[in-house]
Amino acid sequence: MRKMLDAIAKAAANDLTSLAAHPEKLGPDTGIYPHSVAPLDAGLLMMARDDQAKFLVNVAPGKTGLDGDFSGETVEDAGLAARKIPLIHDNALALRGKFAWTAPVSLRERQTTIGCGDRLGLASAGHLRALGKYRAAPVLAQQSIRELTLTNREYPDVVDSAAFLVFQEGWQSGYGADGDHLKTLADIDRAIDAGMTMITLDQTEVMHAEAENYSAAQVESEFARLPGTVKDHILNTYAAKSFSFAGAEITLSDLEARRCALMYLDACDFTKTVYEHLKQCRGSAFDLELSIDETTAPTLPAHHLFIVRELELRGVELSSLAPRFIGDFQKGIDYIGDLTEFEAQFVAHCAIARAHGNYKVSVHSGSDKFSVFPLIGKHTNLRLHLKTAGTSWLEALRVIAACEPALFRELFDAAEHGYPEALKLYHITADFSKVPPLAAMSDAELGNYLELDESRQLLHISYGVLLQNKALAPRFFAAMHTHEDSYGDFLDRHFCRHLETLGVPKL
Ligand code: ZN
């Protein structure tokens, strides 16, 4: 700290606050992140690092000039006083209090948003480097309950990590925070209490997916049990009716209208409850995404249409909706399926969204789908939310493979032993017998594991196994701290490739 203070005093030359406008004077060896240097009271606040960790530093001309809302140890030297502020929750709250732009916001009005998903709490800086070059807004903090469990995190930690990195990068144009795939009001409250602004409501437990496979007779008898007014409404509004959109014509048969009622009406009522709850908690400053992607069958455009019309009737305004698309959107690899078929259905999903409030079409498991990105960009007109998560974890492993080959071998070995456990939670079809054995790979070839689909998927699903490994996880995080710059570079390149292929315009 004293060395850092000496460097700051020297660069400041008696005008401490001038460093906020000229952070380059501090030089790269000080460990100070130049974009973070900001005026605070009579002094400055900045993000810095040493060999072990990152921390905030508050510097002022004297002890009384230090901000009392941050906690940490205080040092005086070179005519300055400084507080070394650890990156803990109370200090994150203080940071959000001083710099409102470090808190997540609603991105409802933004045309294109990218769910960046940072399971490690380390990736947002690299994401921002890429996103800063394009006309798209980032959702930096984003985790499902499953991811929280597998990474031993809680929502406050997820939001705090993003806020600290937003401050580090001086990113003032807003970011979102997504409580992903939430199914209950209790879990939604966990996310809202932590300051998350986007809720992705997963309907799988409130919809009746089993009705998808009912015979006509079963649909008939179940539908007959609904109240008379509901039956009348469904039959008058949907049965044997056609709906025309620019680029799509959708007809619901009598049977399909009844089936939709059985499948979705309870889910639409629950969505309305959640929407009202969000309005009560956050006014209009939230984004509600509806996710029906974790179902066994693709979402038919007719079903998408039924759901959004019913939500409209209930006064629910969605920011985005994630259908399950035809074909296979597996984690961390390209699209598997027929592009022509995909395009035909995708056009219909986009037309429905445009005609019903112009919410964003949301693409889950959206990373690395390079073969369908041009179609997705084109047909959404970039009114799009693309959700990614694990691909940034894979880029972290790419850093380890390149910079710490011995550690990578240990991680890979642990993944190979742990994957049966991981497979219980993720649907992938990779044939792991195609993964070349570690012993056959030279250090220079280890990066190839991040190219081959089968090993990508093996590593993708193993994040829980590896991050819960008490021997390996601390060494992994220490290595990531050492190679922070490489991680930023890799993520920058990887996300630029996503944005370019989608056709997002550069700034
Ligand atoms: Zn999803």
The active-site residue, picked from 147, 289, 404, 453, is 289
The active-site residue, picked from 180, 187, 293, 492, is 180
Active site residue 6: no
Taking Cα atoms as reference points, which of 54, 55, 73 lies closest to residue 63?
Answer: 73
Q: Do 102 and 161 touch, CB atoms closer than 8 A?
A: no
Buried b (16+ CB within 10 A) or exposed e, 28-49: eebbbbbebbbebeebbbbbbe
Buried b (16+ CB within 10 A) or exposed e, 346-374: bbbbbbbbbbbeebbbbbbbbbbbeebbe
Q: What is the pLDDT of residue 420?
A: 85
Q: Element (H or E) spanning 448, and its range?
A: none
Active site residue 485: no
Q: What is the pLDDT of residue 428?
A: 81
**DSSP line for 46-105:** EEEE-SS-EEEEEEESSGGGS-TTS-SEEEEETTEEEEEE---HHHHHHHHHH-GGGS--
Taking Cα atoms as reference points, which of 115, 171, 123, 105 lies closest to residue 143?
Answer: 115
Dist. CA 340 → ligand 1 center (Å): 23
Dist. CA 368 → ligand 1 center (Å): 15
Distance CA(114)–CA(127), nearest Å, equals 10
Dist. CA 426 → ligand 1 center (Å): 12
Dist. CA 320 → ligand 1 center (Å): 12
Q: What is the pLDDT of residue 247?
A: 80
Dist. CA 17 → ligand 1 center (Å): 46
Token pair 């937003």 in the structure block, residue: 166
Dist. CA 200 → ligand 1 center (Å): 9
Distance CA(201)–CA(181), nearest Å, equals 6
Dist. CA 61 → ligand 1 center (Å): 51
| DSSP 3-state of 147 | helix
Q: What is the pLDDT of residue 294?
A: 79
Q: What is the pLDDT of residue 248?
A: 87
Tokens representing residue 481 in the block? 């701290």
Q: What is the pLDDT of residue 339?
A: 97
Q: What is the pLDDT of residue 296?
A: 78
Cβ within 8 Å of residue 46, ≥6 positions away: 23, 32, 33, 36, 37, 38, 56, 57, 59
Q: Do 78 and 89 touch, CB atoms closer than 8 A?
A: no
Distance CA(202)–CA(206), nearest Å, equals 9
Virtual CA dihedral for 76, 81, 86, 90, nearest 10 degrees? 130
Q: What is the pLDDT of residue 78?
A: 86
Provide the whole-model pTM: 0.96
Taking Cα atoms as reference points, which of 104, 108, 103 lies closest to residue 385?
Answer: 108
Q: What is the pLDDT of residue 168?
A: 98
Write the single-letter amino acid at 303: H
Dist. CA 291 → ligand 1 center (Å): 6
Dist. CA 294 → ligand 1 center (Å): 6
Q: Please report, in tens digits, the pLDDT of each residue of the chain (507 residues total).
A: 889 999 999 999 889 999 999 999 998 899 999 999 999 999 999 999 999 999 999 999 999 999 999 999 999 998 999 999 999 999 999 999 999 999 999 999 999 999 999 999 999 999 999 999 999 999 999 999 999 999 999 999 999 999 999 999 999 999 999 999 999 999 999 999 999 999 999 998 999 999 999 999 999 999 999 999 999 999 999 999 999 998 889 999 999 999 999 999 999 999 999 999 999 999 999 999 999 987 778 999 999 999 999 999 999 999 999 999 999 999 899 999 999 999 999 999 999 999 999 999 999 999 999 999 999 999 999 999 999 999 999 999 999 999 999 999 999 999 999 888 888 888 788 899 999 999 999 999 999 999 999 999 999 999 999 999 999 999 999 999 999 999 999 999 999 999 999 999 999
